[in-house]
């Protein structure tokens, strides 16, 4: 199971891992089982950074954690969000046009706005949580839910492009083990926080709407939609954490 784990870290993060030469289709499918581990490791790094900055102004602390957060993924998922935004805006209801725009490396104004707003929301939520002095342990769970969102989308959506790593993963998912891993890791955070079901519910509602939108336009998912779903689910989860004191 070493190869699938290495593939998961290599695809979803900038954390240094060995290179796997000629991975098998089965290894691509099994790599999905390690997505939660990738999320927890990223969360652990973020929590460590936040802990080391204890006493620093909450705004500066949030900004620095966010910089590390983006660096750990190489901005890959943000790029997916940018591409999806352009495709949905520029596709104008046409599946072919939408897929064409997804291949375009250039960014339109919609992409810039969506990424800027997402980073702004994440920063504001980080600032609010640090200012309330709730510790840093909750950072373990935010990247986790981004990767769980990707698992859910791969399990429930059609993969449009018939080539590449994403297609290999989608075609070789071990369905029952993946659903089990997804359910276990989705429920674990609720055991460690009061009202922990609220962030879980928020992400579940968002993912249902997002998944339904992808089924309408363009009729399935690509790697860009997985990245967008990851980033947006993280944002939903951390915003729900920030407003938990209201409940």
238: pLDDT strictly greater than 60: yes
Cβ–Cβ < 8 Å for 173, 154: yes
Measure the CA–CA gap between 115 and 236, rounded to whole angstroms.
Answer: 14
In a domain, 29, yes or no: no
Least confident of 24-33, 104-113, 122-131: 104-113
Residue with the bigger pLDDT between 18 and 41: it is 41
In a domain, 61, yes or no: yes
- H-helix or E-strand containing 71? helix 58-73
The whole domain housing 241 covers 37-246
In a domain, 20, yes or no: no
Nearest CA among 20, 21, 24, 22 for reference residue 6: 20
Please return the burial class of 19, using the count of CB atoms within 10 Å of its CB with bins 0-12, 13-18 and 19+.
exposed
Which residues are registered as beta bridge partners of 221?
159
Listed ranges 45-49, 73-77, 222-226, 241-245; the one with the highest mean pLDDT: 45-49
100: pLDDT strictly greater than 90: no
In a domain, 32, yes or no: no
Distances (CA, A) of 193 to 73, 78, 216, 225: 27, 28, 36, 30
The whole-number pLDDT of residue 246 equals: 61
In a domain, 175, yes or no: yes
Query: pTM of the full predicted structure?
Result: 0.93
How many domains are there within the chain? Answer: 1
94: pLDDT strictly greater than 80: no
- How far from chain centre, in Å, is Cα 62? 19
Least confident of 31-35, 112-116, 158-162: 158-162
Distances (CA, A) of 64 to 52, 107, 165: 11, 25, 32
Measure the CA–CA gap between 77 and 80, rounded to whole angstroms.
Answer: 5
Measure the CA–CA gap between 50 and 136, rounded to whole angstroms.
Answer: 6
In a domain, 183, yes or no: yes
In a domain, 30, yes or no: no
In a domain, 16, yes or no: no
* First vs last C-alpha separation in the chain: 42
Cβ–Cβ < 8 Å for 146, 230: yes
Mean pLDDT estimate for the chain: 90
Place of tokens 């652990």: 44
Instruction: Tell me the pLDDT band of 45, cut-offs 50, 70 and 90.
Output: very high
Instruction: Tell me the pLDDT band of 247, cut-offs 50, 70 and 90.
Output: low
Measure the CA–CA gap between 39 and 34, rounded to whole angstroms.
Answer: 9
């Amino acid at each position: 199971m070493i190869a699938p784990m290495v593939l998961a870290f290599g695809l979803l993060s900038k954390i240094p891992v060995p290179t796997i030469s000629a991975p098998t289709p089965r290894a691509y499918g099994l790599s999905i089982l390690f997505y939660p581990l990738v999320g927890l490791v990223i969360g652990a790094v973020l929590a460590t950074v936040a802990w080391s900055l204890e006493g620093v102004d909450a705004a500066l602390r949030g900004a620095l954690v966010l910089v590390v957060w983006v660096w750990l993924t190489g901005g890959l998922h943000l790029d997916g969000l940018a591409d999806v935004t352009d495709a949905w805006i520029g596709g104008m209801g046409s599946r072919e046009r939408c897929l064409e725009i997804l291949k375009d490396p250039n960014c339109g104004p919609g992409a810039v706005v969506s990424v800027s707003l997402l980073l702004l929301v994440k920063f504001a939520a980080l600032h609010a949580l640090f200012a309330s002095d709730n510790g840093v342990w909750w950072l373990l769970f935010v990247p986790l839910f981004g990767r769980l969102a990707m698992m859910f989308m791969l399990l429930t959506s059609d993969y449009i492009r018939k080539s590449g790593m994403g297609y290999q993963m989608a075609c070789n998912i071990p369905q029952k083990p993946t659903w089990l891993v997804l359910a276990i890791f989705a429920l674990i955070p609720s055991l460690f926080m009061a009202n922990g079901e609220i962030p879980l519910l928020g992400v579940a509602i968002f993912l249902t709407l997002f998944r339904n939108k992808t089924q309408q336009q363009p009729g399935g998912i690509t790697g860009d939609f997985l990245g967008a779903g990851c980033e947006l689910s993280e944002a939903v989860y951390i915003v729900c954490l920030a407003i938990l004191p209201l409940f």
